[in-house]
Amino acid sequence: MPENTPPRRTVASADIVRLAELLDKFESADDPESEACKTAELQFERGLSELFEQCVKPYYALVSFAQFRGHVRWRCREYLSLQARRPPTIPPSV
C-alpha cells in the first residue's frame, strides 16, 4: 500500500544542482545554436516550471513565476561560482 507523501513546499539542494548543471551547459556553451545547448535550455525551463507548479504556486500566491525564476537562476549561479572556487581534489593513489 503506497504511503501518502506530504506535498513539496521547498526546492531541494539536489534540484538546484541539477538546474545549475543545465544552466551552465547553455549559458557557457561554445555554440549557443547547438542542439545540446537548446536541449539544456529547454530542460532547464521545463524543470523550473515543474518546480514552480509543485512547490510554489499552490502555497505562495504572491510569488510570481518571474520572481521564482530569477531567484532560482541566482541560486544556480551561486552554486556554480562556489564550485569554480573549490580547490581540485586529488584522487587517491593506488
Q: For all residues of the chain together, what is the average pLDDT?
A: 88
User: For position 55, what pLDDT does the model report?
Assistant: 92
CA 70 to chain centroid:
11
Q: Is the pLDDT of residue 71 over 70?
A: yes
pTM above 0.75? yes
DSSP secondary structure of 28-69: S-S-TTSHHHHHHHHHHHHHHHHHIIIIITTT-TT--HHHHH
Q: Give per-residue pLDDT as tens, 10-67.
A: 889 999 999 999 999 998 888 888 999 999 999 999 999 999 999 999 999 999 999 9
Of the candidates 29, 49, 48, the one whose C-alpha atom is nearest the C-alpha of residue 38 is: 29
Ordered by start, the domain boundaries in the chain are 13-85
User: For position 4, what pLDDT does the model report?
Assistant: 64
